[in-house]
Amino acid sequence: MLSLAFCGLKFDSPIVLLSGCVGFGEEYTRVEGFSNKDAGAIVLKGTTREPRLGNPPHRVYETPMGMLNAIGLQNPGVEQVVTRILPTLDFSETRFIANVCGSTIEDYVEVTRRFDDSPIDAIEINISCPNIKEGGVQFGNYPEMSARVVAACRAVTKKPLITKLSPNQTDIRENARYCIEAGSDALAVINTVMGMAIDIHARRPVIGNVQGGLSGPAIKPIALLKVHQVYEVASRHNVPIIGQGGICSAQDALEFLIAGASAVGVGTALFYDPLVCKKINDGIAAYLQRHKLGSVADLVGTSSSHSTLAQRSQAC
């Protein structure tokens, strides 16, 4: 009932654990009661061509109904990830997705090429990281640049490509279309929203990088709208969406599925409830049984038909 096909991969659950929230897949194995089988896929921490130390502190700050983070893509570099970390992961339990980051198109290409020669199941292109000073936002907020990154990565891998879209742009639908036409097999909607916090006593920004990415329940209405908008484009090309942004419960997940997501990403919620995935899975399964639906796929995008009817009624 909860299983689904996503870009040719079998997910046992519609839940995807989001990049940056579970390290390189090994962190949550230490939490008693947690099982990788509760997630259909796990997205590994953002990986760059060379090792990165990340941003100066403070790098994380709790906000009302959310969290600001500006880690700055701290990671050991792609060679270490492929040769030392991937061999420790159990690919029989769940699917693992690499998260590729870069400061130049050449960086994206080289990291993608290296992951292509690895057991990783799919590759997520992070063109929308809001807390690094180079690359990231610049690539993700301009459709033509986004398409160039996707096309370059597409040329060096046959693995499924998932493009992570930024909410910090004028028209996310146009960006989605460009990325699909450039060869993206799926879309992750959305990345974090840019924000900041002020220390009124020191009279300076709390985050060392000044700005960070806001995640958590505070951004859920924004993320839902973006998923709904992108679904208008993606559904025409049979391109699936991972809907993400503030999902903390089964109801949240169901809303994203109905808005057009084929799978749902869980991230910030894991920090205060590491076992939330099982609760979400149980809630989705109960909803499907209650409404006599055979699978998660029966829910995907079902809000769109109602939206179309409403628009026609208003036009009349």
CATH number at residue 280: 3.20.20.70
Q: Is the peptide bond before 190 cis (omega within 30 degrees of 0)?
A: yes
Q: Establish whether 248 is a catalytic residue.
A: no
Decide: 122 and 11 in contact? Cβ < 8 Å: no
| Strand spans (E) along 24-169 | 41-47, 60-63, 66-69, 95-100, 122-126, 161-165
Number of domains in the chain: 1
Alpha helices in 183-219 (DSSP H): none
Q: What is the pLDDT of residue 139?
A: 73
| Cα–Cα dist 79/123, whole Å | 15
Q: What is the pLDDT of residue 307?
A: 52
Q: What is the pLDDT of residue 36?
A: 83
Q: What is the pLDDT of residue 168?
A: 86
Half-sphere exposure of 287 (CA within 13 A, CB side): 20
| DSSP-derived pairing of the beta strands 198-199 and 204-205 | antiparallel
Q: What is the pLDDT of residue 19?
A: 96
Pick the catalytic residue: 7, 101, 129, 179?
Answer: 129
Q: Is the peptide bond before 201 cis (omega within 30 degrees of 0)?
A: no
Total-model pTM:
0.93
**Residue 311: φ, ψ to 5°:** -65, -40
Domain range holding 147? 4-315
Decide: 220 and 193 in contact? Cβ < 8 Å: no
Q: What is the pLDDT of residue 155?
A: 98
Alpha helices in 198-249 (DSSP H): 220-234
Q: What is the pLDDT of residue 25?
A: 85
User: How does DSSP classify residue 81?
Assistant: I
| Cα–Cα dist 67/131, whole Å | 13
Per-residue model confidence as pLDDT tens for the chain (316 residues): 999 999 999 999 999 999 999 999 877 777 888 888 899 999 999 999 999 999 999 999 999 999 999 999 999 999 999 999 999 999 999 999 999 999 899 999 999 999 999 999 999 999 876 545 555 556 777 899 999 999 999 999 999 999 999 998 889 999 999 999 999 999 999 999 999 999 999 999 999 999 999 999 999 999 999 999 999 999 999 999 999 999 999 999 999 999 999 999 999 999 999 999 999 999 999 999 999 999 999 999 999 865 543 443 334 3
Q: Is 30 helix (H, G, I), strand (E, B) or coil?
A: helix
Helix (H) or strand (E) run with residue 212 in it: strand 212-215
